[in-house]
Structure 1
Amino acid sequence: MSQKIRLTVVAALLALNVASLPAHAHAEHGKPQFGGVVAEAGEAQFEIVGQGNKVVVHASSHGAPVDMAGAKGKLTVLAGSAKSEVALTPVAPNRLEGAGSLPSGAKLLILVEWPGRKPLQARAVAP
């Protein structure tokens, strides 16, 4: 086999392997890690979890925690004709919490804002 053919085969095999790398890097992207529902918002991913009378929102970006220092948020919950809003405040480096509940099947709209940054907004449906 000539050197030129070998190089072509090696280059083709490398190209096939490199193309599969992003799939492995984001294997858990979009999947709930805490038993909630995932909402995508630009560069961030929010997992919204109902815990009794408390709503917890975990924030990440490509698997890395998103710093919630200085952030504030609002979760609008639409359940049938009922509408409620949950004020969200930072309680941990990548977590917001607020008092409220998530009825099954409710439509959720989350808005998160940081000083000096563009706000992020996402939608989901409660499990």
Structure 2
Amino acid sequence: MNLNLVTERLLLRRWNEKDAEDLFRYASDSDVGPIEGWPVHQNIQESREVIKNVFNGPEAYAVCLKKDGKAIGAIELMFKDRTNLTEQDDECELGYWLGKPFWGNGLIPEAVEKIL
């Protein structure tokens, strides 16, 4: 089940194609993708494909600032069918990334607390 989750500063919601421009803005930064294990996005179409084919899990959320709803990162609970780190039904992997302008503000801990 996937519902919108709200914190003091954030909205965690499903990704949609309209988020491709926001995703590209941050995923095209060489300080973001490579440390997460994925290549820098080269164009908005690539970001659309990632939204469609990667950010589509049942517990995949766009991390958005509550004040404007724009995607600034991602967070996902990945169960055994979406991760190689576990084969157990009662374990999962937590993955996330955040656009560089938002680093160091405690946003991901806030999102993690809510998603858990």
Q: TM-score, normalised by structure 1?
A: 0.28
- Larger RCO, structures 1/2 (Cα 8 Å, 6+ apart): 2
Say which structure is richer in helix: 2
Of the two, which has the highest radius of gyration? 1
TM score, norm. by length of structure 2:
0.29
Give the structure with the higher percent strand.
Answer: 1
